[in-house]
Amino acid sequence: MEKARLLVELNVKPEELDAFRKMFHEEFMSRSRSEDGCELYQLWHDPMAPNKMTIVEVWSSQAHLDAHLAQEWFTEWAPRMEAAQATPLQVRVMANFED
């Protein structure tokens, strides 16, 4: 079974940065990491531009990722995440050459 891997690129509004990071760590990461099939869920930032971030996700399967995206809390939280962005989210689906 092929894993599902995502890179979600964020460009957070500078005035939203502190609140976004706090909210993301306390709400989104803890919930996502506890879901079945979540193998990796990290938030990275560019040290030269802290408002430029990337969510790195690895799920055991596409079905696990689909279940994550269908969570009730996700549909409530996603608009809050998008509102903090200076530009639209960019989602890149990735594959591993070793699969």
The pLDDT of residue 97 is 80
pLDDT value, residue 99? 67
pLDDT, average across residues 24-39: 92
Q: Which tokens is 1 given?
A: 């079974």
Tell how many helices (H) and how many strands (E) occur in the chain.
4, 4
Q: Comparing C-alpha atoms, which of 40, 32, 23, 30 is closest to residue 81?
A: 23
pLDDT in tens, 35-72: 999 999 999 999 999 999 999 999 999 999 999 999 99
Q: What angle do CA 20, 62, 87 make, to 5 degrees?
A: 30
Going by CATH, does the domain composed of 4-93 fall within 3.40.50.300? Answer: no
Output the six-digit token pair for 17. Answer: 């940065």
Buried b (16+ CB within 10 A) or exposed e, 44-54: eeeeeeebebb
Q: Check: pTM over 0.75? Answer yes or no.
A: yes
